[in-house]
Amino acid sequence: MDATPRTHFLPPNVRRSADQDRALQIGYGSTCSQPSTVAAMLRFLDLAPGQRVLDVGSGSGWTTAIMARLVGPQGSVLGVELEEPLVTRSAAALKGVPNARVQLAVKGQLGAPDDGPFHRILVSAATSRLPQALVEQLTPDGAMVLPLNSRLVRVTREGQEAAPGYYAFVPLR
């Protein structure tokens, strides 16, 4: 995370707060997630070099860039985001990261079913129901981490486990 400075992914008005461990407003009702929360999610996601990753609710593009570094040049990360201005901004911030790209999410369709399956899926927006459509975009041995009922939950085809603690996110729409 230190090697992927958060400030580069933030709008100018909040850049001075980049080093603070809190979520920051990035416009369009979205936030750049709190660094300690991102760290907890990525530890739980357990990425490995070469994996194909889907970043649902990629927002600023910061998590997309961090994960692109973790999966290395043989891996890839696709970010999907509902807010078009954030897609434009994050795509610019991700220039120079060849194994990461972002695209506009299709309304009414979760994830990117045409681009899957994915070894890992990170969801950065809260839901109270497990989105089966995303589970179906996982490889057979894949794993997804998402905020489910205020807990960080890791989902595989075998089952679910929750990390300690409670977390608040903007809603998954």
Ligand X SMILES: C[S@@+](CC[C@H](N)C(=O)[O-])C[C@H]1O[C@@H](n2cnc3c(N)ncnc32)[C@H](O)[C@@H]1O
Active site members: 33
Shortest distance in whole angstroms from residue 73 CB to ligand X: 22
Is the Cβ of residue 22 or residue 141 nearer to ligand X in the bound state? 22
Cis peptide before 11 (omega within 30 of 0): no
User: Is 59:14 a contact under the CB 8 Å cutoff?
Assistant: no
Nearest residue to 28 (alpha-carbon basis) of 168, 146, 169, 170: 170
Give the dihedral sign, CA 135/136/137/139. Answer: positive
Beta bridge partner(s), residue 171: 126
Shortest distance in whole angstroms from residue 22 CB to ligand X: 12
Shortest distance in whole angstroms from residue 56 CB to ligand X: 5
Q: What are phi and psi of 123, to 5 degrees?
A: -115, 125
Is the Cβ of residue 62 or residue 118 nearer to ligand X in the bound state? 62
The residue type of 99 is: N
- The C-alpha atoms of residue 92 and residue 72 are separated, in whole angstroms, by 20
The residue type of 32 is: C
Q: Does 83 bind ligand X (CB under 6 A)?
A: yes
| Binder among 51, 53, 57, 116 for ligand X (CB under 6 A) | 57
Q: Does 60 bind ligand X (CB under 6 A)?
A: yes
152: its two tokens: 């960080």
- DSSP, collapsed to helix, strand or coil, labels residue 151 as strand
Binding pattern for the stretch 93-132 against ligand X, x by CB under 6 A and - elsewhere: ------------x----x-------------xx-------
Q: Does 56 bind ligand X (CB under 6 A)?
A: yes
Binding pattern for the stretch 148-167 against ligand X, x by CB under 6 A and - elsewhere: --------------------
| Binder among 4, 14, 30, 116 for ligand X (CB under 6 A) | 30
User: Binding residues for ligand X, per CB under 6 A?
Assistant: 30-33, 56-60, 62-63, 80-83, 86, 105, 110, 124-125, 169-170, 172-173
